[in-house]
Amino acid sequence: MTVKTQTSQPHDEVVADMLRSDPEFRAAMINEVMLDGDHADMLILLRQLTLAEGGMKVIAERTGLNETALYRLMSAKGNPSLKNFSKLLDSLNLQLAVVAKRETVAA
């Protein structure tokens, strides 16, 4: 009897496939992470988006930043400047926008 085993993809590759195939999902993910305000989650998502777009080399060429700088700014201790964050978003065909906060209704 032959047993077929199902191969699985690493989580980051699955997420990258989803981000690659759906630009609206990509924007929604960035917006959600920004609303949550979790810096670590944002850096993880930026790495997943970079993977979806072909990797650090591709993003380095699009942003004009070197690969080492990209690895550093997306590392767990990364803290990209607004300028570099904007370049990164632009290379991912996204843009940064600011909207007024929704007022919360007092209970």
Higher pLDDT, 2 or 77: 77
Give CA separation, 107 vs 65, 95, 103, in Å: 48, 35, 13
* Helical spans, DSSP H, in the chain: 11-21, 23-36, 39-52, 56-63, 67-73, 82-91
Query: What's the whole-model pTM score?
Result: 0.79
Please tell me the predicted confidence (pLDDT) of residue 3.
65
Please tell me the predicted confidence (pLDDT) of residue 1.
62
Task: Please say whether the dihedral angle defined by the alpha carbons of residues 47, 51, 57 and 60, taken in this order, is positive or negative.
Answer: negative
With contact defined as beta carbons under 8 Å apart, do 46 and 79 qualify? no
Question: Distance (Å, rounded) from C-alpha 80 to C-alpha 21?
Answer: 26
For the chain, what are the domain ranges? 11-91
Q: Can you read off the two tokens belonging to residue 59?
A: 């993003």
